[in-house]
Structure 1
């Protein structure tokens, strides 16, 4: 494979993207810094196919990333391969408002191949290629220039290794017939809605114990204010106000701006400055949360009392057994909340009762809940067996 020198000019990048646009797939990775900013600061983009690989410097003066972004988000003929690519996808979304598509995440694929739920990149490379990755440059300052040869070599390796692993993974998925299992997961990963930082729903990330509409209405208003302040200043939201302070403000709202000086977690200067005034405006403008926006009660899963909780525990045990038997990560088969809903009597809208998940797990789960299946120990191994009722 030909590895290009670091690309810092628009013409070289455009030529590279023109060639890669003819490839069946490209592997993609990014290096970024986000400790002191709201939006991740993109510092390096790596891309490869089976013939060539390159690192692109997005911080190079005057470089036009349009051909690369177009390849990633507008060319549906080229599959984009990532590993644990959520943050990489977020960066592309922030730049374009779109996500790479079609998409293949090797961490998700590894779940279908029995390699655990969140296999790390170095373990993936070791298991598929027998290569030990030097992690020395992993925590480097990617924003500092110039980048040295070791940094670039480390970064390029992320996509060159992946370009060798992906065809092997694809072949094994075809042999096992599990490729179709991943379609829904990949579509979910590529959904732009996952990466939109909507200030109107930011309150859902903050934990409060109260369910009073007035408190939740203030929480929504304050969390929205914080999100907009963080975006405008490009600072981490915790640098503006921490979650626990927001929860405190929502539950015990100050009556006037001068009272902000008494709030734990806020600077006393907020009692008289502009940011304090904007916070008070958000609090004063808050309205009780409407009934249709109220979060569901965690203890109101339909019919899930003590007996239902026991049934849910049995379903979780069944999930472990089934995942072991077919050598797949349990989380790919079912989520815990779906098992609780099934135990509570819900049948409609559950993924485990649809498609391949029903064939591989849902049918047995339904039979267990409805008395047609039971646990048994055979030769020291926990298994499932049909009951007389099923017969």
Structure 2
């Protein structure tokens, strides 16, 4: 494979992208920093096909990423391959408002091939190629320039190894007939809604013990305010107000701005400064959360009583057994909330009762809750028996 020098000009990037546009697939990875900013700072993009690979420097003066972004989000003929690509997709979404499509994630695919739910990249490379990755450059400050040859070699390795693994993984998926199993997972991963960061949804990131509508209404208003402050200043959310302080303010809200001086986690200056005033304005606009938006209590799922909880536990045991039998990650077959919904009586709208999931697991899960399947112990081993 031909490895290009670090790409720092638009003409070179455009030439590369023109050739990658004729490839069946490209592998993609990014290096970024986000410790001190709200938006991740994109520092390096690595791309490869089966013949050539390059690292692209988005911090290079005058470099226009448009040829690459067009390839990633607008070219439907080239498959974009990532490993655990959620953060990479977020970066592309922030730049374009779109996500790469069509999409393939090797961590997701590994679930269908019996390699666990979240296999790490180094373990993936070791298992498929027998190569041990040098992890010495993992903690590089990717924003610092110049990057040395070892750093660039390490970064490009992420996509050259992936370009060698993907065809092997695809061949095994075809041989086992499991490629179609992944379509729904890939579509879910590539859904732009995952990366939109809606300020009105920001409260869901903050843990608060109360389920009272007024407390959650204040939390929603405060989390929205913090999200906008953090974006505007390009600072991490926690540098504006930490989660625990936000939760405290929602539960025990100050009546006057002067009271902010007494809140643990806030500077006394907030009692008189502009940001403290904006916080108080957010509290003043807060309304109790609507009933249909209130989260369910974790210990009391709708329709799932004590008996239902026991049935859900049996379903989880069945899931564990079946996943081991067919050598897939359990999460690919069904999710915990689906099992609880089935135990509570739901029979429609569950992915586990449709398509290949129904054939591999859902049919038996339904038989178990409806009394046509049971657990038994035979010769000291757990087995499934069908009712006459």
Please say whether Structure 1 and Structure 2 have the same fold, judged by a TM-score greater than 0.5: yes
* Separation of aligned partners in 2, 1:55 and 1:63: 13
Conserved in 2, the CA contact under 8 Å of 1:321 and 1:383?
no
Conserved in 2, the CA contact under 8 Å of 1:89 and 1:99?
yes
**1:185 aligned counterpart, secondary structure:** helix
* CA distances 1:215-248 after superposition (whole Å, capped 9, x unpaired): 1111111000000000001111011101111111
Q: Structure 1 unaligned runs (5+)?
A: none
Query: What corresponds to 2:254 in structure 1?
Result: 254
* Separation of aligned partners in 2, 1:175 and 1:377: 34
* Separation of aligned partners in 2, 1:341 and 1:301: 9
* Separation of aligned partners in 1, 2:202 and 2:11: 41
* Separation of aligned partners in 2, 1:73 and 1:345: 41
**1:204 aligned counterpart, secondary structure:** helix
Say yes or no: does 1:311 pair with 2:311: yes
Query: What corresponds to 2:375 in structure 1?
Result: 375
Cα distance, 1:299 vs structure 2: 4.0
**2:376 aligned counterpart, secondary structure:** strand
RMSD: 1.0
Cα distance, 1:380 vs structure 2: 4.3
Single out whichever of 326-335 and 285-294 deviates more from structure 2: 285-294
Query: What corresponds to 1:118 in structure 2?
Result: 118
Query: What corresponds to 1:134 in structure 2?
Result: 134
**1:27 aligned counterpart, secondary structure:** strand
Alignment of 1:52-131 (within 5 A): 52-131=52-131
**2:282 aligned counterpart, secondary structure:** helix
Give the TM-score, by structure 1 length.
0.97
Q: How has the CA–CA distance of structure 1 residues 379 and 166 changed in structure 2, closer, same or farther, with 3 Å as cutoff?
A: farther
* Separation of aligned partners in 2, 1:225 and 1:279: 7
**1:385 aligned counterpart, secondary structure:** strand
Query: What corresponds to 2:223 in structure 1?
Result: 223
Conserved in 2, the CA contact under 8 Å of 1:80 and 1:100?
yes
* Separation of aligned partners in 2, 1:380 and 1:66: 63
Conserved in 2, the CA contact under 8 Å of 1:4 and 1:54?
yes
Cα distance, 1:80 vs structure 2: 0.2
Give the TM-score, by structure 2 length.
0.98
Equivalent pairs counted in the alignment come to 388
Cα distance, 1:148 vs structure 2: 0.3
* Separation of aligned partners in 1, 2:325 and 2:210: 44
Conserved in 1, the CA contact under 8 Å of 2:260 and 2:271?
yes
Query: What corresponds to 1:194 in structure 2?
Result: 194
Conserved in 2, the CA contact under 8 Å of 1:43 and 1:57?
yes
Conserved in 1, the CA contact under 8 Å of 2:296 and 2:302?
no
* CA distances 1:110-156 after superposition (whole Å, capped 9, x unpaired): 00000001000000000000001000001111010000000000000
**1:5 aligned counterpart, secondary structure:** coil
Conserved in 2, the CA contact under 8 Å of 1:321 and 1:382?
no
* Separation of aligned partners in 2, 1:299 and 1:172: 41
Alignment of 1:231-380 (within 5 A): 231-380=231-380
* Separation of aligned partners in 2, 1:287 and 1:144: 46
* Separation of aligned partners in 1, 2:143 and 2:302: 51
Conserved in 2, the CA contact under 8 Å of 1:27 and 1:159?
yes
Query: What corresponds to 1:23 in structure 2?
Result: 23
Cα distance, 1:379 vs structure 2: 4.6
**1:43 aligned counterpart, secondary structure:** strand
* Separation of aligned partners in 1, 2:303 and 2:255: 42
Alignment of 1:35-50 (within 5 A): 35-50=35-50
Cα distance, 1:214 vs structure 2: 1.7
* Separation of aligned partners in 1, 2:237 and 2:281: 19
* Separation of aligned partners in 1, 2:46 and 2:381: 47
Say yes or no: does 1:146 pair with 2:146: yes
Cα distance, 1:307 vs structure 2: 1.5
* Separation of aligned partners in 2, 1:51 and 1:210: 56
